[in-house]
């Protein structure tokens, strides 16, 4: 690679052709954001680092399958999320809920607006595994409970219950730190 690469699309094209320098620059551009997703999903730094590294290996290996270079960030995000889920399926065990355990929808959201985002992310990391994953997929990544249930192999009601229990636990945890 003799010329200086100026755009993300040029970087991706160079990485697609096997340029280690382009891959390193792409990693540098995206790794911090993707590491944040891994940390929120997995809660442990060692796990997040392993999953992140594997996700980038998968992305660089499958870069030829990316149809539109402008969508690279979203495509990589999906790989990171899916890799986090696959990793967690090996480590976490889900507790199915009965249908008579309906989630408490009365928890108000106003309290959250007064707390720093970094504090919230730290609290999310301390949630139990199932709560943390569902909370991140729903509240942070914007997936529906139906999508989450399909991805995680749980019922939609379990997803809803895990989310509401996570929200309740976060609220209790964050309000006691005030």
pLDDT tens digits, one per residue of 58-70: 999 999 999 888 8
Structural domains of the chain, count: 2
**What whole-number distance in Å separates Cα of residue 125 and Cα of residue 20?**
33
Residue 122's CB: how many other CB atoms inside 10 A?
Answer: 14
Residues 84 and 114 both lie in one domain: no
**What whole-number distance in Å separates Cα of residue 123 and Cα of residue 132?**
10
Residues 71 and 14 both lie in one domain: yes
pLDDT in tens, 82-141: 999 888 877 765 555 544 444 444 444 565 566 677 777 788 888 888 888 899 899 888
Say if 86 falls within a structural domain: yes
**What values do phi and psi take at 62, rounded to 5?**
-100, 15
pLDDT class of 55 with cuts at 50, 70, 90: very high
Residues 80 and 21 both lie in one domain: yes
Residue at a domain's end among 61, 91, 121:
91
* 149 pLDDT above the threshold of 70: yes
Task: Note down the domain range covering 86.
Answer: 8-91
pLDDT at 99: 47
The answer to whether 15 and 26 have CB atoms below 8 angstroms apart is yes
pLDDT at 94: 55
* Nearest residue to 160 via CA among 150, 169, 148, 172: 148
Residue 154 belongs to domain with CATH number? 1.10.10.10
């Amino acid at each position: 690679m003799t010329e200086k690469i100026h755009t993300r699309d040029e970087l991706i094209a160079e990485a697609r052709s096997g340029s280690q320098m382009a891959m390193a620059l792409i990693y540098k551009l995206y790794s911090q954001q993707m590491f944040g997703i891994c940390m929120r999903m997995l809660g442990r730094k060692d796990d997040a680092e392993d999953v992140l590294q594997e996700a980038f290996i998968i992305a660089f290996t499958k870069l030829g399958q990316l149809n539109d270079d402008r969508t690279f960030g979203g495509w990589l995000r999906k790989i990171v999320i899916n890799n986090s889920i696959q990793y967690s399926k090996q480590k976490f065990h889900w507790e199915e809920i009965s249908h008579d355990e309906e989630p408490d929808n009365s928890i108000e959201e106003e309290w959250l607006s007064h707390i720093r985002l970094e504090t919230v992310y730290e609290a999310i990391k301390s949630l139990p595994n199932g709560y943390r994953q569902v909370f991140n997929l729903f509240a942070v990544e914007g997936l529906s409970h139906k999508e989450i249930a399909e991805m995680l192999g749980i019922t939609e009601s379990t997803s809803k219950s895990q989310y509401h229990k996570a929200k309740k636990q976060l609220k209790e945890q964050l309000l006691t730190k005030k």
